[in-house]
Chain A
Amino acid sequence: MFNLIRRDVILQKRLLMLFIPCLLFLIIMDANPAFIFLFASIYIPFNTYAYDEKTETNILLNSLPYTRNEIIASRYLGALVYMVLAVAITSLILLLFNRSFTIIDIALSIGLFLLFVAIALPLFYIFKPGYISPILMFSFIFLAIIGPRIVSFAADHLTVVTNFLINLSNPILYTGSALAALTVYGASWGFTTFVYKYKAL
């Protein structure tokens, strides 16, 4: 299992060399710290999924002594591992560049990341290869641009909801969202495991 997670680094040696430059670019462009965290977390898992949707990769992994459950588990656990590493590295670089960021930025990006993986990952195993990566890439960029506007629109117009959220104490709000994100993530994991179990390769 650990080997399956470690595999991602070997697969992406070259892309990893672009990782730091990309982060630096975003910092210089003065991007929102939460967005930088989110981008950094998604970087490795997303590139792996692009590999994994290929039929050949699935044939290879399934011919090796791994079970299908392990292959899916390595995707979901791997995403968490790389997210933690990415957040650590990004924090370090932000500190080095003297850019301020808050725990909220990190929490927000982690929440969005979990949601993104929970929605995106099953798609790779449901749909035919070749379509999903470009669609996801596009929708990610689209959401990153539109997302904040939707939130501020909602904040202005859906006062009932925002009032409810504002009135919650911080600990409740944070634990609540963390639990919600983890529940969605776990449900997605279970669902993908089920789909993959019966997939013909």
Chain B
Amino acid sequence: MDNVVELNNVTKQFKDFSVTDLNLQVKRGFVHGFIGANGAGKSTTIKMMMNLLKPDAGDVKVFGLDYKSHEKEIKERIGFVYDGNVFFEGMNLKDIKRIVAPAYKHWDDDVFKKYIDQFELPLNKSIKRFSKGMQMKASLAIALSHHAELIIMDEPTAGLDPIFRRELLELLQEIMIDGNRTIFFSTHITTDLDRIADYIAFINKGQLIFNKTIHEVSESYAIVKGRKELLDRDTEKAFVNIHQSSVGFEALTDDLAGAENTFGDSAVIERATLEDIMYYMKGGMQHV
């Protein structure tokens, strides 16, 4: 199984924030969800994948190539969708296409027309008068019209209504039928992922916590609820983070089997949702 994107020991330092020693592989042919709280480092990571930011240390490889000598070849094969509108505001879609299309060797006008029809996008209306959903569709139509192998999206579902979010996810599924495609997208709406993601990468405070299949995640993470007496120095080791109240505790473990072993029937053990994991991790790793 080959990797479309590889980040090796990547570090990027900012004044008040840093991404440290990031190792992340994106596998060909799968949908990867990239989750993390606001400010966890999702956009920074994506910008490094797109060579908009250069890492201070470590290397970034896309399609096995590095940006230093293969920047154009790499970007020919990437379709991108960003959170905000990056297209020239006052322009209409027809003119934006006129600017973007010639940049790509493999631009396909028929595919573009197909998506314009499917999304019911007006070609002559100024893009700043588009709704958020329409802007997203427009970016997507452009990203999908040059036979890109890798689609990178930064928060594509942010600010969209639930119905359109679902439509978008269906569309992503549709484009994955072509088995050579890979999608990598960041989101903080974790319910999006249950529907389509094969892999989940989770970043917290600039550090990658895990990059696993969605199956592995649900097999390893769990929420344990029980009485306070169950907690002692030994049992606490099983948890990533513990929330205590006057009567009991709720804690996240990354070792479901181990927790079942330790607590048996004395505690309630539930599958952890991605949101649970994000919520507990936000409190910081607490390996006692």
Contacts and interface: CB of A to CB of B under 8 A. Distances in A.
Contacts of A66: 72, 75, 103
A69 to B, nearest CB: 10
A63 B86 contact: yes
Contacts of A67: 71-72
Nearest to A60: B86
Interface stretch (B33-41, B76-84, B110-118, B239-247): B76-84
Interface string A63-80: 111110000000000000
B104 interface: yes
A196 interface: no
B86 A65 contact: no
A177 interface: no
B156 to A, nearest CB: 14
A67 B51 CA distance: 10
B47 interface: yes
B85 interface: yes
Contacts of B78: 63
B104 A62 contact: no
Interface in B59-111: 71-73, 75-76, 78, 80, 82, 84-88, 91, 95, 98-100, 102-105
Interface string A1-28: 0010011001101000000000000000
A62 B88 CA distance: 14
Contacts of B181: none
Contacts of B50: 62-63
B52 interface: yes
Given A62-B51, A67-B72, A56 B86 contact: yes
A60 B103 CA distance: 11
A3 B88 contact: no
A155 B80 CA distance: 57
Nearest to B14: A200
Contacts of B104: 64-65
A10 B86 contact: no
A65 B72 contact: yes
A59 B52 contact: yes
Interface in B7-58: 47, 50-54
A7 B99 contact: yes
Contacts of A200: 52-54
A10 B103 CA distance: 14
A198 interface: yes
Contacts of B99: 3, 7, 10-11
A63 to B, nearest CB: 5
Contact of A3 (B76, B80, B86, B103): B103
B75 A60 contact: no
9 contacts: A10-B91, A10-B99, A11-B91, A57-B86, A59-B52, A60-B86, A60-B88, A62-B51, A63-B82
**The 7 residue pairs across chains A and B that have the minimum distance between CB atoms:** A65-B75, A201-B52, A3-B102, A64-B103, A60-B86, A56-B86, A65-B72
Given A65-B103, A66-B75, 10 more contacts: A10-B99, A59-B86, A60-B87, A63-B78, A63-B82, A64-B75, A64-B104, A65-B72, A65-B76, A66-B103
Interface of A: 3, 6-7, 10-11, 13, 51, 56-57, 59-60, 62-67, 198, 200-201
Interface of B: 47, 50-54, 71-73, 75-76, 78, 80, 82, 84-88, 91, 95, 98-100, 102-105
